[in-house]
A and B are shown apart, each in its own frame.
Chain A
Amino acid sequence: MSTQPRRIAIANGGGFIPGLNAVVAGAARAAHEVGWELVGIRDGFDGLLHPDRYPEGGLVHLSADAVEHMSSAAAPVLGTGARTDPFHVRTVSAEQAVEEVDRSEDLLEAIRKEALEAVIAVVDTHALSVVYKLSRKGLKAVCVPKSAENHIAATQLSFGFNSVLSFAVDMLDRARQAAEAARRIAVVEVLGEHAGWLALQAGTAACADAILIPEIPFDLAKVAGKLGPKVTAGRPYGLIVVAEGAVAVSGHAVAPPANPLRASLSPGATGHEGGHVIERSGHAAAAIALDLQRLTDLETYPLALGPLVKAGAPTAVDRQLGLAYGAAAVRALQERQAGVLVAFQPPELKFVPLVDAINKIRTVPGDSVFIQVARSLGISLGD
């Protein structure tokens, strides 16, 4: 508390998303400007918890020079921390028993030993909860929000979402063209288990015939009714965009939501046994395509974009946003703020206490301008 941090770290909790390297570069450049040293922790917190796994060391030196030529689309320099939860580290004991051990104290000790005065953590909703718990145990942390669904409520825009959205639109355009060639209805599933931002915005941009999102329970008969007259001999194809968490009016989708198990989980919930999470995307699209085919004369085919959209180069927006988030995280530490999340609340980047950021999911409100726009374009929202 008495001195400003001189040596700080940055870690990535969760997987890759476009713009991640821009956050790292932003933090590195901003740290350099104020004369601080920035190091990266490999693979979430694994670089500190399991340094033995890294022959070159669990930490990466991130000088301004080191990030000078870092490609924005390359594999993340920090690795990924999708399976990292220091409170539940799967271990085989000396007694040959598999167990999940709370190693948060070891992590904090390793951070002290490395003389790291604060950690900038790039977080999804799961990592946000983990870092919140670490901050309650004394870790000085500043979080940067990343989300492909843009559902972290504290910020208007998580980095990564704009890139995911752009790529999804591109893929939807292709799906429509393929549907046209095949004279069928493409049912394309996109990420969005809790919030329909991606489906709604991408679907609207691609002028889909229908968009089904978790916030608006859908009636497939109504979708079919709207689709029928549109799909004529002159236009024998269509495009339906469905968020993986979409549910039917009845409560149980005509079609189960993306996955009945995951539907019962909390946002960002992971296995306590070391993150045994599998992606089972595609179920919503498959079920809806099948039911629509039963309800109508139309032939359909399902397609799931899944995590494909989370790869690749960031858009200009995410490069700017990433750099800005990284730099703002350093500024937060300069201002001696810790236990906060950097939030983009246009036109400002603000610092929101972690306790106010956890457990908050931003869903699409019923009066959203995006919903109004979609309706005015004649897009069915399934209601």
Chain B
Amino acid sequence: MSSARDKLEGFIYFLPLFAAVLFLFLYPLLYSTYVSFTNMNLLNFFRHTYRFVGAFNYVLALRQRYISTLLINEVIWTLGSLIPMMALGFALALILNQRDLRGKSFFYAILILPWAFPGFISLLVWQGMWVYPYGFMNRYVLPSLHMPTINALQSVGDAWAELIITNLWLSFPYYMTVFYSGLQSIPAELYEIADVDGAGALTKFLRITVPSLRKTIAFVFITSFVFTWNNFYPIYVLTSGGPGISTETFIVYAYQQAFSYSNYGIAAALSIISTVITIVLAVVVMKFTGVLEGIT
């Protein structure tokens, strides 16, 4: 049902979005790539006195071990966040899935609050709670649980603990919801047959629950991985990448280089590296989940 004219018409409708994407995604990235090869900073930007310095920024990043530190941090941040989040979310989903549990909607409504409440605002609040030594957490909560206080300004381990606990608070409801609906969609008959066969709870869990959810778990893990890798706000608000650069990730570090230190050249280089990694990860997700068929 198409002719050349129809094809052109279709393209015209798509054009505004396409132009926006081109202009606001592609072109900035290209421009940044260019900038990453210069020594541009605040001073020479306006006078156009910046020079082309080749791969200097990249070499610098490698030689001063930014990149390896950032990569390690990314892995700690991503895996360190995802594993507790998914575990807690899964556990809660299992608990809520019990048929003889009362007050489900009540608990569900409360448990979903951390995710529903705007993350940025929550982070501002948490930041105040983590201040050492008189923030609410360090002054009341941790001591009353007989746990050591957390001083993110001094100790790297403490900084990571703070980040991961807060990120856990922010995101566990999402995983709880996803796994809960996954559990709900497992037909009850499967369990009933297992009961008739005499299976115990653990067997049912390992043989029915986990295999049924494998695809969901994998999909959630991979998409959350990419999301957490690029998650800017928790680190920026809570630790600003400190102490030193021990909790920096690519996206936070690039942002700071650009807007706190005006090292546009380095910021651009790091942005490019980060984007490339993200695209690679995104392609992996696509191939793995075959999502594309659902869209076209």
B and A form one assembly: no
Measured CB to CB, the residues of B under 8 A from A are none
Residues of A within 8 A of B (CB): none
